[in-house]
Structure 1
């Protein structure tokens, strides 16, 4: 079994949404543990510069670009600049994503579009910008997309996010088939983290009208669930270990994620509707649902 260093060591990696959370953890891990040259992107200029500067000061190789994954032209330009400066990309991690709380009928149209544009179109733009050169290169390369445990669950008050992650998982599965069909030397994987420490719930969009109190109750429930989160560094180590092994479904906290996958499979086979929501992270609840981020 090849090691992480043998698979990824010394290559160039691109990580979107790298200014905080799991993207930050992955960028630090790739530069520090695997000696990769890491290109960090984010719309958060302060955050992405902070992380990049700290990686460089600790001896890692990193550079950052303030890029909005919703901008297809900007992503194409980034891919060209990265290729011109560093050659073929060995690892592309489509990580950028945002959350949205509220009953579906209360969600403002602009925030609905924001979630879909970042979480779904942002992944597509990354694939479209970087993948052609990765396919053309002789060197083995990898694409990881952040699908979340939300891609195999249903959670009330988070419908835009949940459906976006179901779409990302489907996109990744189709991409895997397409690359196999043409015989490309590119491995694709879907990453399904459970709870990883970040500010995604604090930054989650809310609603302007309707049941505002329900939004804040759900936000508080997510804050409580975050107390059970693993660190971005722990998540990065688990993710890259499984990526090096060639896993397609990469998970963190497998006892949670694999249980959610099994429950969904059983519900589909039994043609049963989703049960009432119960948090997996609250000891007093029954395990039939999972808050996600």
Structure 2
């Protein structure tokens, strides 16, 4: 696409489906999609949050609907797709954004917390792709799939291992999916893109899982939570982040970065680490300072 094409020209009109739309960058992406003239499907497990956002968006005109959906449940996500196509029409944009955090040493992490992170952050993306992408492939109209990775998808960070693993997985999933869409001959109209946010204001740290049980280092987990909350104080506004992402997507970029300079530097550092085969090293400051989804 031409670099002069605006997000409004590309995305104006049509239907956007955003999972995890109740807060953070998900809410920001939903708000900006609505500003661009899209009909927005707000999906989240927090019924009150998406109902309030629906009322906010529709107060000024346009269409927004809220759907309570747990992305861990493939049947629920399939129903989300069915309802979207039945009630609003073909999805032009699917944003697989729903995600959760986890703090603490990996060996202290409860099995249920590990499964929660993987089921939401990774399997939730897979379920979204399974439910929506075949319909997009069958429809010749342009369509976009955005999967939310993170600056954490190109970093190694202690005391957040499940989250970091999940975001590496989402990035790999998205890169492979782009190749598969190309291999299947649909890349002329279906565009797969990876979103790598840096620090964007949300409640992900407050809602993050921790550790418990005999011998678990609770203080280490909570210390990491406090460090991330300190970073949140200077994080990017979700709507501002959404504007940046939409403009990059409209230009046809694959890696969509909320803070291009900072997240880009983390990507370059990751490439250098892999090239030089230098072992991971502890930092005196968090990798995510000042950027984080």
* TM-score bracket for the superposition, by shorter chain length: over 0.9
C-alpha distance in structure 2 between counterparts of 1:124 and 1:169, whole Å? 12
Q: Which residue of 2 aligns with 1:227?
A: 233
Partner of 1:283: none
Please say if residues 145 and 172 of structure 1, whose CA atoms lie closer than 8 Å, have aligned partners that are also in contact.
Answer: yes
Residues in 2 aligned to 1:279 and 1:89: alpha-carbon distance in whole angstroms:
41
| Matched ranges for 1:158-173 at <5 A | 158-173=160-175
- List aligned pairs for 1:1-293, cutoff 5 A: 1=2, 2-32=5-35, 34-184=36-186, 185-209=189-213, 210-279=216-285, 289-290=287-288, 292-293=292-293
Distance 1:112 1:278 in 2: 26
TM-score scaled by length of structure 1: 0.95
Name the CA distance, whole Å, in 2 between partners of 1:113 and 1:208: 16
* CA contact 2:199–2:288 (8 Å) conserved in 1: no
Task: Structure 2 unaligned segments of length 5 or more: list them.
Answer: none
User: Partners of 1:130 and 1:278 in 2: how far apart?
Assistant: 43
Superposed CA offset, 1:91-124 (max 9, x none): 0000000000000000000000000000000000
Task: Return 5+ residue gaps in structure 1 as ranges.
Answer: 281-288
What is the distance in 1 between the residues matched to 2:284 and 2:176? Answer: 31
Over aligned residues, Cα RMSD in angstroms? Answer: 1.0
**C-alpha separation in 2, matches of 1:138 and 1:6:** 18
**What is the CA distance between 1:86 and its match in structure 2?**
2.1
Contact 2:101/2:208, CA 8 A, preserved across alignment: yes
Matched residue count: 284
Distance in 2 between residues matched to 1:259 and 1:8, nearest whole Å:
29
**Alignment check: 8 A CA contact 1:40 1:64 kept:** yes
Distance in 1 (CA, whole Å) between partners of 2:251 and 2:227 is: 35
What do the CA deviations read for 1:16-36 (whole angstroms, capped 9, x no partner)? 00011110111111112x110
CA distances 1:213-268 after superposition (whole Å, capped 9, x unpaired) = 11111111111111221100110000000011111001011221111111110110
Secondary structure, aligned partner of 2:193: strand
Q: Which has the higher contact order (CA 8 A, sep 6+)?
A: 2
> C-alpha displacement at 1:135, in angstroms?
0.6
Tell me if the contact between 1:156 and 1:277 (Cα under 8 Å) persists in the aligned partners. Answer: no
Distance 1:235 1:278, change over 3 A: farther
